Structure 1
Amino acid sequence: MRADTVADAPAGNWVDRYAPAFLRPFLRLSRADRPIGGWLLMWPCWWSAALVALDRNRAFPDPWHLVLLFVGAFVMRGAGCTLNDLVDRHIDAAVERTRSRPIPSGQVSAPAAAAWLVLQALVGLAVVAQFNLFTVCLGIASLAVVAIYPFMKRITSWPQAVLGVAFSWGALMGWAAAAGSLGWSPLLLFAGSILWVIGYDTIYACQDREDDAIVGVRSTALLFGEHARLAVAGFYAGCVLLFALSLTFVDASPFSFLGLACFAVHLLWQVIRFDHEDGARCLRIFRSNRDAGAIFFAGLVVDCLWQWMFSV
């Protein structure tokens, strides 16, 4: 592995191949070379935008909102990763998988990383400012969760739950951006998404169980141990149930429920394939949640078009 690359980044990623040399360390700090986190942060936003479109009998979620939510998700994911790496730089230096990250490896200094964090936060604020006042306030409120997350692994075995709140906040944002308020459907979507995140991040955390135990970092992967598969299955089942309840509040048609059923089958496949002792497999399963999110979104979009066509 080259000295300036990151161990857990895919080989031949676009940052290593095409980004200007001076930007590469900062893009790695934002995980631009590992964009899966941006997708996982974005899907609850887009699901919520599709739900409110269903509720208002629109043929498609607002395209401009989808663009803003896409940009905001990836920018704020980058900001969150930068903050996390600043706080965890000493822990990362002691863990095999993370010691090659930009700060512990010396690619980026802590002050430079802090400046990069501020820049990303300002871009995120500019994106949120395009929405109504209620959504702006909702977006600003999410920063409190983002700020405390890096410290949770030191004080609780449930840092995945805090990450779940942070990564599911978009389930509120997409609806609020169009409606200027909240309702039962986005709240249930938010709750279900939290369970989804806890499930997939437990799978992800299984990669670092041994190192985490040595350095004193806590996680649901360590908490559940040999019972991790059963725990993930429970979180995923609760997620699907809450999503189904969310759909009932917008009078969703069978197309949405079909999308949810396919989403559930994908989650079942993950549980069957999951082996908490196989780090490489855990990473592959974790990354597959990008596809799970796309499946559910596709069902919602088809439902929007179907109901709109037969209402005009």
Structure 2
Amino acid sequence: MTGHNQTPEAAGVVADAYSGNWVDRLAPEITRPYLRLARADRPIGTWLLLLPCWWGLTLAMLSDGRAGWHDLWILIGCAIGAFLMRGAGCTWNDITDRHIDGSVARTASRPIPSGQVTVRGAVLWMVAQALVALGILFTFNTAAIALGVLSLLPVAVYPFAKRFTWWPQVFLGLAFNWGALLAWTAHAGRLEVPAVVLYFAGIAWTLFYDTIYAHQDAEDDALIGVKSTARLFGRDSPRWLRWFLAGAVSLMAVAIILAVPDGRMAALLVALCGPWAMGWHMHWQMRRLDLDDNARLLMLFRSNRDAGLLPVPFFAVALLL
């Protein structure tokens, strides 16, 4: 347990992790720094990476009316792969940001800047996670494997984006929503237009939630020269967030209309309830937004797990119609 006089860094606890998370309570002590490096104590990122996969898979099944045991494996494989690739991506992010993280209050307690993990150890951990994820990817079809390998490009570029653009959240969106393309292709055997439109819906959603997240660090980022949409928009962020909300909902609706075959009106109407429900949740977040309250910002960011989950049951029910 953390002593009253210990800093988070000294105790090994990461500042923005869930209080009483399973890593801090249950994981063997020797594994904790590596699990924290992979953000296993902060599962929201895994959800945000996974949910576009589930959108893509369920919409692909709805599009061609097929569902089989292999789709169950795609569902599970994407969940395991999201956990692993989110961990590998976060490890890569922390390797590249180790000097920046030490200068930001919220990230100074992370394993590398706090000295819990060496850079060499982090590289080995990143490679191990990526190799296991690659093994899962190889169980999918050839087109999906090619897309999976290609996804490494936006993952590699993202950590550097905040150094050269005010829009690093776009690069995060390119990486985090790739699963919509991959899971659709894993089911259908080819990439099709509805999946691409769904991908752009996910990018708009990422711009929404990560702009909210980035406002926590806006002051520190300004001091060290790191760029973000939160700094770019400033007090005008709510207006931009409404545009991202509208874009995410509208593009997802277009993807559904393109995917659902003619003559399946009941399935179309039920599936369209998905983006409506997600948009309602995002509107709920907007009503509670306070750019000066970091605890509120973190709560709203985390609530996007629920926002992103809302379309999935509607897509699943539409499959039965």
Relative contact order (C-alpha < 8 Å, sep 6+): which is higher? 1
Q: Calculate the aligned-residue CA RMSD, in Å.
A: 1.1
Aligned to 2:64: 56
Aligned pairs for 1:39-188 within 5 A? 39-58=47-66, 62-188=71-197
Identity of aligned residues (%): 51
Aligned to 1:272: 287
TM-aligned CA deviation for residue 60 of structure 1 = 7.6
Aligned to 2:312: 297
TM-score, length-normalised on structure 1? 0.96
TM-aligned CA deviation for residue 114 of structure 1 = 0.6
Write the distance in 2 (CA, Å) between the matches of 1:94 and 1:69.
Answer: 35
Write the distance in 2 (CA, Å) between the matches of 1:211 and 1:263.
Answer: 31
Aligned to 2:264: none
- Structure 1 stretch displaced more, 246-255 or 141-150: 246-255
**Paired residues of 1:60 and 1:301 also in contact (CA < 8 A):** no
Matched residue type, 2:96: V
Secondary structure of 1:249's counterpart equals helix
Task: Give the count of matched residue pairs.
Answer: 306
TM-aligned CA deviation for residue 212 of structure 1 = 0.4
Aligned to 2:21: 13
Per-residue CA deviation, residues 143-176 of structure 1 (Å, 9 max, x unaligned), is: 0110011001011100000000000100101110
- Structure 1 stretch displaced more, 211-220 or 271-280: 271-280
TM-aligned CA deviation for residue 253 of structure 1 = 2.0
**Paired residues of 1:138 and 1:173 also in contact (CA < 8 A):** yes
Write the distance in 1 (CA, Å) between the matches of 2:208 and 2:68.
Answer: 29
Matched residue type, 1:257: L
Secondary structure of 1:58's counterpart equals coil
TM-aligned CA deviation for residue 259 of structure 1 = 2.2
Write the distance in 2 (CA, Å) between the matches of 1:225 and 1:277.
Answer: 11
Write the distance in 2 (CA, Å) between the matches of 1:139 and 1:170.
Answer: 8
**Paired residues of 1:53 and 1:60 also in contact (CA < 8 A):** no
Of the three residues 36, 40, 48, the one matched with 2:44 is 36
TM-aligned CA deviation for residue 254 of structure 1 = 1.4
Per-residue CA deviation, residues 20-45 of structure 1 (Å, 9 max, x unaligned), is: 11110000000000010000000000
Aligned to 2:212: 203
Write the distance in 1 (CA, Å) between the matches of 2:191 and 2:19.
Answer: 42
TM-score, length-normalised on structure 2? 0.93
Unaligned runs of 5+ in 2: 1-6, 261-266
**Paired residues of 1:9 and 1:34 also in contact (CA < 8 A):** yes
